[in-house]
Amino acid sequence: MHSMILIFFALFLIAGLYLIMAELLSVPTYKATKAILGMGKKTKKQARDSDAFIMELAVKLSKVLPMDDYKKRKLTAILKSAEIPMTAEVYAAQAIVKAGLIFSGVIPCLLFLPILSPVFVIIGIAVYFTESTKAEKLITARRQDIEYELPRFVSTLVQELKASRDVLSILEHYQKNAGKAMKNELAITTSDMRTGNYEGALARFEARVSSAMLSDIVRGLIGVLRGDDGVVFFQMLSHDLKQLELQRLKRLAMERPPKIRKFSFLLLGCMLLLYMGVMGYQILGAMSGMF
């Protein structure tokens, strides 16, 4: 009972000190932070109170979080490519805050149920690595979506270049039927081409996606802009990309059986349990009839 009173006293004391310091330092309220987060989201989902609280702590921590220039530049480029509207310091601090909030669950566990303490430690470590690599995962997923579409894109280029040499028009026509990730990148690229240098816009398109497969396509398009025929080049590239796509499909087909096998064993186990249940019922019925 005394320990519970001490815990509640500490919680209320910390909350009171936080409110006093927030008023003295003119910290924005939860509603203001929540509204800003909601405006920054591309989806129409409202920002949660927990997001606002975590963001406030992350912003405070980011002001004292040490980060060297190389890591900052690298992380800033990753966030820009992933379209995450955060500074490098806030992004790193957010991962630390989320993991730290989970680590704080160890304190009550040590007081009441010490055996659960390692669970919070493991979950906290997992959350930290998940949050700190979220931007890289977004970039990787988007790059894979674009690379899966490249064989169709190159086949379209082969057909279009036989009738037209207008690279901008070809990209704009393909953009209408492209996938989501490819459509977004082509929208940026075509807008960039209209307002600036064509070769520079294509080079920035290549840099944003960071794909070796796309680099070959951009090199071919730049060659077309400089006067090359390009049709034979893209025909050879289309053949290579189709071979890579077939290899990818074969690899996916080989991954299916192990996944299906787990469900097969589960189904077999359910059938055996059903069969044993029926047998047990019959045996018990026969034994009760004997007695």
Band (pLDDT 50/70/90 cuts) for residue 5 is: low
Name the one residue in this structure whose structure tokens are 């082509």: 186
> Token pair for residue 166?
């207008």
3-state secondary structure of 177: coil
* Torsion sign over Cα 72, 127, 180, 257: positive
pLDDT higher than threshold 80 for residue 61: yes
pLDDT higher than threshold 70 for residue 74: yes
In one letter, which amino acid is 15? A
Average pLDDT (242-257) is 76
Query: Within a 10 A sphere around the Cβ of 214, how many other Cβ atoms?
Result: 21
Cα separation of 60 and 39, whole Å? 21
pLDDT higher than threshold 50 for residue 125: yes
pLDDT at 217: 92
Query: Do 153 and 218 meet the contact criterion of CB atoms below 8 Å apart?
Result: no
**pLDDT tens-place string over residues 187-223:** 999 999 998 889 999 998 988 888 888 999 999 999 9
For helices 49-62 and 30-40, give the axis angle rounded to 10 degrees.
100
Name the one residue in this structure whose structure tokens are 């002001």: 63
Cα separation of 25 and 60, whole Å? 11
Query: Do 75 and 108 meet the contact criterion of CB atoms below 8 Å apart?
Result: no
pLDDT at 42: 45
pLDDT higher than threshold 50 for residue 57: yes
Burial 253-283 (b: 16+ CB within 10 A, else e): eeeeeeeeeeeeeeeeeeeeeeeeeeeeeee
pLDDT higher than threshold 80 for residue 127: yes
pLDDT at 18: 58
Band (pLDDT 50/70/90 cuts) for residue 287 is: low
pLDDT at 3: 56
Cα separation of 61 and 91, whole Å? 10
Q: Of the ranges 4-8, 125-129, 251-255, which is most confident?
A: 125-129
Name the one residue in this structure whose structure tokens are 């059986």: 257
pLDDT higher than threshold 50 for residue 112: yes
Q: What rounded mean pLDDT belongs to the chain? A: 79
Q: Give the CB-side neighbour count of residue 109, counting CA atoms within 13 A.
A: 13
pLDDT higher than threshold 80 for residue 261: no
CA-based radius of gyration for the chain: 29
Which residues contact residue 91 at a Cβ distance below 8 angstroms, ignoring those fewer than 6 apart? 75, 79, 84, 135
Band (pLDDT 50/70/90 cuts) for residue 84 is: confident
Query: Within a 10 A sphere around the Cβ of 26, how many other Cβ atoms?
Result: 6
**pLDDT tens-place string over residues 7-38:** 555 566 566 555 565 555 554 554 545 454 45
